Amino acid sequence: MKTAELEVVESQNKKEKPTQDQIPFGTTFTDHMFTMDYVEGEGWQEPKIIPYQPLTLDPAAVIFHYGQTVFEGLKAYRTKDNRILLFRPEKNFQRLNLSSERLSIPPIDEEQVLGYLTRLIQLEKDWVPETAGTSLYIRPFIIATEPNLAVGPAKTYKFMIILSPVGSYFPGGIKPVIINVEDQFTRAVKGGTGMAKTAGNYSSGYQAQANAKKSGNADVLWLDGIHKKYIEEVGSMNIFFKIKGEIVTPELNGSILKGITRMSIIELLNKWDIPVVERRISIDELYQAYEEGAVEEVFGTGTAAVISPVGELNWLGKKMIFNNHEIGELSQRLYDEITGIQTGKREDLYGWTIEVE
């Protein structure tokens, strides 16, 4: 990997690391961060690992006005024998470039950036926690920095990677969640930015999520923006249904995020000869199958939880309860396999992990 020009400035004031069992998500950051700048006509330049520090930007920077930005999320895991593993990180940088294309942001060199990430994790390896379920969350992102209020792609950008140790998603053991089927607000639509990991897709869901929480739900299940009928995804997860032994997940249609955990699960199910199909599935079809007692398991998938069983869906006053609010057998098997591979407890038969040496 071409990391030759990388400049590294080590922090002289190392922070105290948090107690590993009590790390709230996304508010504690490590000692260093990676930055790289883009200038139109010159390309990406000045890759640097520097002490974690505030950003200084002109108030007219495009990011503040027109939201030209993309991000990724992945994790580094510590194994029992103290190795550090990344899970399919090349998929994240591939997706970052897909998101960037949609947002008219110049692409990064995926291999090169993976090299920089590896170097950053090496430097911060003591920040990767070891308690079961914990990890070091990795947030690569790109923001448009040019000070210019004219609507249009910026001429300068900043790519950054920040790192945040995170506690277990299920500190008291896996607990199925209650989700509201959103019937008023829309997350994304064909021709929009739904398949891109870009900032605007997230804050646009806050109102629906707040409404859902008020009525005792943990998150929302989004329906398609056109018919308000076809199931798309949960707040920050893709979704799977086990119906009469077959696993169904909404097909990628341009408005659904191409989840890397989603992809891994489909690949695993194929290896295991468990039937899995990506297709349109409407909320009516799901409800009918539920009424017939055919829905055996429901689970969300994403980097945060890996597998998050759904115990209950609330849809226009109707309540669907799955597997008696307990985690299903297949959900547990998938969870054990993927987290096992991620943390080195199980053999990685698929070449999914990369060790940071």
Note the residues at the interface with its own copies (CB under 8 A): 24-27, 29, 33, 52, 54-60, 62-69, 71, 102-104, 137, 139, 141, 143-144, 147-153, 160, 162, 164, 184-193, 198-207, 209-210, 225-226, 228, 235-236
Measured from the CB atom, the residue of 57 and 263 that comes closer to its own copies is 57
Least distance in angstroms from the C-beta of 276 to its own copies: 27
Whole-angstrom Cα distance, residue 262 to residue 201?
Answer: 19
Q: Which is nearer to its own copies, 219 or 296 (CB)?
A: 219
89-102 vs 260-271: helix crossing angle, rounded to 10: 130
| C-beta closer to its own copies: residue 206 or 272 | 206
Q: Give the Å distances, CA to CA, from 69 to 100, 145, 246, 257.
A: 8, 10, 38, 16
- For residues 85 and 135, the answer to whether their CB atoms sit within 8 Å is no
Q: How far is the CB of 217 from its own copies (least distance, A)?
A: 14
Nearer to its own copies, 187 or 262 (CB): 187
- The minimum distance between CB 119 and its own copies, in angstroms, equals 18
Compute CA 266 distance to the chain's CA centroid, rounded to the nearest angstrom.
17
228/280 with CB nearer its own copies = 228
For residue 214, the SS3 value is helix
Q: How far is the CB of 214 from its own copies (least distance, A)?
A: 13
How far apart (Å, rounded) are the C-alpha atoms in residues 184 and 204? 12
**Nearest to its own copies of 70, 327 (CB atom):** 70
Give the nearest distance from C-beta 35 to its own copies in angstroms. Answer: 9
The span from the CA of 320 to the CA of 338, in Å, is 27
C-alpha closest to that of 354 among 110, 142, 133 = 110
